Amino acid sequence: MDITQFPSWQQLNSLTEKMHDRHLRELFAEDPQRAARFSLELPEFLLDYSKNLIDDEVFVNLLQLARDADLEGWRRRMFAGESVNCTEGRPVLHAALRGGLPGPVSVGGVSADALVEGELSRLKEFVNLLHNGALTGCTGKRITDVVNLGVGGSHLGPEMVIEALRAHRCQEVQLHFVSNVDGAQLADILAQLDMESTLFVVSSKTFTTSETMTNARSALNWFGGLAPQAELLRQHFVAVTASPEKARAFGIEPQRVFQFWDWVGGRFSLWSAIGLPIAIAIGFEGFRALLDGAASMDRHFQQAPLEKNAPVLMALVSLWYCTFMGYPAHAILPYEQALHMLPAYLQQAEMESNGKSTTRAGEEAGYATGPLIWGMLGINGQHAFYQYLHQSPQVVPADFIGSVTPGHQLPGHHEILLANMFAQSQALMNGVSREQVETDLAVRGLGAEEVDRLAPYKVHRGNRPSNTILLRKLDPHSLGALIALYEHKIFAQGVILQIYSFDQWGVELGKGLAAALQPQLESGDSHNQDASTAGLIDYYQRVTAGSAALDFAG
Ligand SMILES: O=P(O)(O)OC[C@H]1O[C@](O)(CO)[C@@H](O)[C@@H]1O
């Protein structure tokens, strides 16, 4: 049944007017237990969702909506390996990569656990060889630098995690990431490297992504005549892919091809062999701890009742804002330097999953299915875009994410950092009333006219909602749990809003057009293009012809 037909949906719709008129200040004043009632403590973190514009009536209806949408049934089917990615005809089993399934699941007659464990032990062996210095380049030099060539899900997860776990890094090997087909990125990194001690990891689920394959070919060319190509590929390249035959066709040795499977979505793949750079950076045991943390969130998501289920609660709050209250964006604001890539990672995870408008029934949704995700390190954002968060007429709900334990030894810093994080969510919630502003200005000795002139600019309406996720400490286990929290939040939101979260048809159109346009840029033939695109091609042609003429003249 269409989700909009359920009484819970209609009830929620009718509650938006009332909630637009409520203020978070009042909700807290009315209920001294609010913070305790609307927060949840898990072994890894505290989730405080009390600063959200929900009251008991909204909460009850949101939970009912989740039940009406059969979230529990979809959850069970996903973890049982049923084909819940229906447009691609696949199960969704990233939880199998971390031992998060409730029981054995086989895909195409093969045990998912056996596949996963087999690949993990290959990864472990490889990482150990690398760390022991047993892996050498074609001239016999020890491998000291590893460059991951991959984009999207084949890049963001590994780099985000490695950055987040800097404090846990082994020193043996340096990691580098190249995701952009803009040669400036690869050229810059190659300039820092010694080819004799460099290993490239070509990471691509499909092994067809043009950015990655172009970078892989350029990396191979970089070696020039150092050794015959087959030897270069053998000693300096490994592949991580769900299309091993394509990696082998590229020339990568079969024993250097690490595999994952089409039941792992690219943006959910960091737990698979795509996490090879993570295991290299923090060691295999650290990688295992990351997987274990995610598995503990898998169990929580499967077992906790909906009203005590962190991913479900976050999904409900998120859809309440984007679908009902009309707040189209959501900010991710980490207060932990190490989490600086989390907003970018979650942008892909959430927007590639839920940025859809066709329902599972193949109909136009007619409602917002997910927010625009954006953000950056909160403390830097405070000095950049928080003005907008505090005083723009647009309300942007936010997630504040921090850690009780600092990731460094410097005294005095961490309290300042956390005080800022707590203060910002408090300021967004409470704001400052006109009355308060007037009193403050008067106390500072301003005359009545001046007070009157300045007061409107200083008023903060407040009532801007947020979640706070406060980790005990940031380590591989808790990071795994945090990432899986968001993964399941995304899934729960998609299920309730009746969309398919695990496909990404929207990214295909542009890829196809780029492939067709590339030869036209070179030839200048733009006859079949719209006027704007033809104009761009024409300008490109004129500038390149002009610079060629200049080169010739010079
Ligand atoms: O791993 P691949 O196949 O190179 O794809 C990279 C990324 O490209 C996308 O298909 C989007 O273009 C993502 O879903 C994926 O993570």
The domain in which residue 379 lies consists of 3-68+304-430+464-503
Per-residue pLDDT tens digits for 371-383:
999 999 999 999 9
Any domain includes 173: yes
- Known catalytic residue at 117: no
State yes or no: pLDDT of 29 exceeds 90: yes
What integer best gives the mean pLDDT of the chain?
97
Does residue 451 fall inside a structural domain? no
Catalytic residue status for 511: yes
Q: Is residue 297 part of a domain?
A: no
Give the CA-trace dihedral at 417, 423, 426, 431, to 10 degrees: -140
Provide the ipTM. 0.98
**Same domain for 37 and 121?**
no
Q: Best mutation site among 88, 90, 181, 206 for ligand 1, i.e. most ligand atoms within 8 A of its Cβ?
A: 206
pLDDT digits (tens, 9 = 90+) for 175-194: 999 999 999 999 999 999 99
Same domain, 284 and 362: no
CATH code, domain with 417? 3.40.50.10490
Among the three residues 253, 288, 323, which one is the final residue of a domain in this structure? 288
| Residues 255 and 143 sit within 8 Å (Cβ to Cβ) | no
Mean pLDDT, rounded, for 113-131: 98
Q: pLDDT tens digits, residue range 255-279?
A: 999 999 999 999 999 999 999 999 9
Q: Whose CA is nearest to atom 12 of ligand 1?
A: 507
The pLDDT score that the predictor gives to residue 546 is 84
In whole angstroms, give the CA distance from residue 425 to residue 380: 15
At 34-75, the pLDDT tens digits run 999 999 999 999 999 999 999 999 999 999 999 999 999 999
Cβ neighbours of residue 253 closer than 8 Å, sequence gap 6 or more: 233, 234
Q: Are residues 51 and 102 in the same domain?
A: no
How many domains are contained in the chain? 3
The token pair at 246 is 């394509």
Question: Both 279 and 132 in a single domain?
Answer: yes
Give the per-residue pLDDT at 171. 78
What torsion do the CA atoms of 84, 86, 90, 91 make, to the nearest 10 degrees?
Answer: 0
Ligand 1 pocket (Cβ < 6 Å) reads: 151-154, 204-206, 209, 212, 266-267, 352, 504, 507
Q: Are the beta carbons of 362 and 499 closer than 8 angstroms?
A: no
Among 352, 477, 487, 489, the one annotated catalytic: 352
Instruction: Please answer whether residues 314 and 485 qualify as being in contact, where contact means their C-beta atoms are separated by less than 8 angstroms.
Output: yes
Q: Is the pTM of this model over 0.90?
A: yes
Locate the ligand 1 atom nearest the alpha carbon of residue 504 and give its number: 14
pLDDT for res 550: 63
364 and 279 inside one domain: no
Q: Does some domain include residue 474?
A: yes
The three-state (H, E, C) secondary structure of 344-378, written as one string: HHHHHHHHHHHCCCECCCCCECCCCCCCEEEECCH
Report yes or no on 444 lying in a domain. no
Digit-coded pLDDT (tens) for 431-471: 999 999 999 999 999 999 999 999 999 999 999 999 999 99
Q: Which tens digit of pLDDT belongs to each residue from 133-190?
A: 999 999 999 999 999 999 999 999 999 999 999 999 987 899 999 999 999 999 999 9
User: Strand 257-259 vs strand 237-241: parallel, antiparallel, or unpaired?
Assistant: parallel
**Is 176 known to be catalytic?**
no
Same domain, 480 and 398: yes
How many Å apart are CA 97 and CA 270, to the nearest integer?
A: 9
Whole-number pLDDT of residue 150: 98
Residue 549 confidence (pLDDT): 66
pLDDT for 548 beyond 80: no
DSSP track, 81-146: T---BTTTTB---GGGGGT--SS--EETTEEHHHHHHHHHHHHHHHHHHHHTT--B-TTSPBP-EE
pLDDT at 318: 98
Do 261 and 321 lie in a common domain? no
Percent of the chain with pLDDT over 70: 99
The per-residue pLDDT for 547 is: 78
477 shares a domain with 380: yes
Kindly give the pairing relationship between strand 329-335 and strand 398-403. Answer: parallel
The first and second tokens of residue 298, run together, are: 């898998």
> Are 277 and 240 members of one domain?
yes
Shared domain for 62 and 208, answered yes or no, is: no
Residues 279-333: pLDDT tens digits?
Answer: 999 999 999 999 999 999 999 999 999 999 999 999 999 999 999 999 999 999 9
Query: What tens digit of pLDDT does each residue of 208-250 get?
Result: 999 999 999 999 999 999 999 999 999 999 999 999 999 999 9
Tokens matching residue 262: 């089409």
pLDDT digits (tens, 9 = 90+) for 403-439: 999 999 999 999 999 999 999 999 999 999 999 999 9
pLDDT at residue 553 tops 60: no
- Residue 552, pLDDT > 80, answer no
Tell me if 84 sits within 8 A of 77, measured CB to CB: yes
